[in-house]
Amino acid sequence: MASNKPPESTSVFDTEEEDGVRDGWCPFIVHGLFGQDIATQTSEEVKLLTIQYYENNSKYLSVGQSSQPQSIYNNPMLYPSMFPWLFPYGLGGIGSTSVSLSSARHKRRLLMYHDKRFQTDPTFPFVCFSHEQVKASTTGSFLLAEKEKFFDITNRILDVDQSVLMELSKHMSKGGVVCPESDKEKDCFQLIHDLDHVGGKVQGSITSKKYMRHELNALMASEGAPSWYITFTPSDQTHPICLYWADGKETFSPDL
């Protein structure tokens, strides 16, 4: 029987014969909060709306999952299973190359691919960067757990005063400067410092940005403020912006 699904872009886990139904009721209807609506709602508002929707006996979709989660380590079929339209025939996944190539290097190579399908995909770059963040955070956690002071950190987490920590968080979120005075406040700041050991290894995290600011401040304190700048201009054939916009039929007409 003919199907309305393109075979080259169908996932190996998709067992349905066709997308949609020809007659009768549609089995699934998207209704409620979605996309840009969630961005304007707080977490408490989303929870309240979800409870209200559930108490009205409204229909919802239960998404199942496998009993064994998929690993992001040494799993060449992970990305072909998630993005079958980017990896035809299930080939070319991360870690499937015969040469020694790190996952970050492989992802960078795919994002620099000539036809830009990996660059223009709405979720592939985000998933790649998220997985690299998870790996970096996991590595930092293991390194911290192997240190001798790990038991002191666990005791500090269990014994920290939650009320003092909450007050410090509220004061710092308003832009205030806090100088720890009592022992409880010092324990809270030491706990934050302990957690920075993990967050500092994650690219794009707040801690990594804080470390970069410290490096810049130390460099300017040692060498002085820069009086001139050097701009490196990559060649056009390797520049990501050029690769993204080239041959994209984009019209550039600024108002001068």
Rounded Cα distance, 80 and 68, in Å: 18
What share of the chain has pLDDT > 90, as a percent? 0
Q: Give the pLDDT band (50/70/90) at residue 12.
A: low
Whether the pLDDT of residue 233 is over 70: the answer is: no
Confidence (pLDDT) at 235:
66
Confidence (pLDDT) at 225:
79
Confidence (pLDDT) at 48:
78
Q: What's the Cα-to-Cα distance from 150 to each of 141, 145, 153, 154, 195, rounded to whole Å?
A: 10, 5, 5, 6, 11
The domains of the chain are located at: 26-60, 78-121, 147-223
Upper half-sphere CA count for residue 133 (Cβ side, 13 Å): 13
Q: Who has greater pLDDT, 29 or 47?
A: 47
Rounded Cα distance, 77 and 93, in Å: 6
Q: If you average pLDDT over every residue of the chain, what do you get?
A: 76
| For range 215-236, the mean pLDDT | 77
Confidence (pLDDT) at 31:
54
Least confident of 12-26, 87-101, 208-222: 12-26
- Per-residue pLDDT reduced to its tens digit, 165-175: 788 777 777 77
Listed residue (15, 131, 132, 140) closest to 70, CA to CA: 131
Confidence (pLDDT) at 180:
77
Confidence (pLDDT) at 234:
59
Rounded Cα distance, 109 and 113, in Å: 6
Least confident of 18-32, 41-55, 57-71: 18-32
Q: Give the pLDDT band (50/70/90) at residue 33.
A: low
Rounded Cα distance, 191 and 197, in Å: 10
Q: What is the dihedral of CA 76, 81, 85, 91, to 10 degrees?
A: 30
Confidence (pLDDT) at 137:
81
Q: What is the dihedral of CA 164, 170, 175, 179, to 10 degrees?
A: 0
Q: What's the Cα-to-Cα distance from 158 to each of 122, 180, 237, rounded to whole Å?
A: 41, 19, 54
Q: Please give the model's pTM, rounded to 2 decimal places.
A: 0.53
Q: Who has greater pLDDT, 139 or 176?
A: 139
Eight-class DSSP state of 71: P
- Per-residue pLDDT reduced to its tens digit, 106-151: 998 888 877 788 888 888 988 998 898 888 888 877 777 777 777 7
| For range 219-247, the mean pLDDT | 70
Burial of 201 (0-12, 13-18, 19+ CB in 10 A): buried
